[in-house]
Chains A and B, each alone.
Chain A
């Protein structure tokens, strides 16, 4: 992945607007958070291959803290903490944020084909 280039990511978001797309949205602090630190909580959520259509999408932010919002007919998709992106071999737009040790904290991915199971 590479650091967010706002202009390029904005274009990629727009390319995938107003058509059926598949979303992977995820946030996690890992299954071992409270094992290594009993003060911590295990928190995470993911949705994989949600089939949606968004009419408008935008990336906003600075340096290491970008937010992405996708506006749908009857709701929203939102991710915060995005710092890197990639167009992968299946032409999916992958966006993610990692901590200092390279561990994934948040991911928002948009693809015209379903993501692998």
Chain B
């Protein structure tokens, strides 16, 4: 473990950080621990265009970039945009992506890296960037290696991997989490409507769905 704490979050899409880990991120920030988000793409190929639609395939890029910056302001985290194209990460060279991530890790020297659990993260971009992140951490000398929290979101993850090592109840910070999600307006409208259909109280329903953030500690 490094003497100075710094958390690096590595996910491919604007809003992965909000839906997946913003409660955990807010907890670290409350303790004064710096957090840097390395965001792989701008979610240019997202299907949600707002509801009612206000984005097009071509304008989505800039809209989501602004939303990402806003969400990072809400969470008070540093942001680095890696510049890959949405949906294409699994077709890039894994070693090149890992080298790219390594160049940030070498500089930041994080104590903890949060990313997706490869093969258990549903979206191909999640799996690919998670695998590259885990490889990038492995490239650091063992003594400098941060802890890695890998997030699995597949329906059968508990069955396949067992109970997550970290089960973080983030309901005390839920307002912050919801604010981070709502910053991604083009995406949140559609995503939250799936929850809304099942419940009258959207905040209560979202809490049930998003109140727990779980991670596996990656073993090298």
Query: A residues engaging B (CB < 8 A)?
Result: 1, 24, 26, 28-32, 35-36, 38, 46, 84, 86, 88, 90, 92, 94, 96, 98, 101-104, 107, 109, 115-117
Q: How many A-B residue pairs have CB under 8 A?
A: 63
**B58 adjacent to A1 (CB under 8 Å):** no
User: Can you list 26 A-B contacts (CB < 8 A)?
Assistant: A1-B53, A26-B45, A28-B45, A31-B87, A31-B125, A35-B122, A35-B154, A46-B45, A84-B53, A86-B56, A88-B58, A90-B58, A92-B58, A94-B56, A94-B58, A96-B56, A98-B49, A101-B48, A101-B193, A102-B49, A102-B50, A102-B190, A109-B57, A109-B58, A115-B58, A117-B85
Option from B47, B49, B59, B189 in Cβ contact (under 8 Å) with A88: B59
**B122 adjacent to A101 (CB under 8 Å):** no
Chain B interface, >50% SS class:
loop
**A31 adjacent to B123 (CB under 8 Å):** yes
Option from B53, B87, B124, B154 in Cβ contact (under 8 Å) with A98: B53
- Chain B: how many interface residues by the 8 Å CB criterion? 25
Query: B residues engaging A (CB < 8 A)?
Result: 45, 47-53, 56-59, 61, 85, 87, 122-125, 154-155, 189-190, 193-194
Inside 8 A of A104's CB, which chain B residues have their CB? Answer: 47, 49, 57
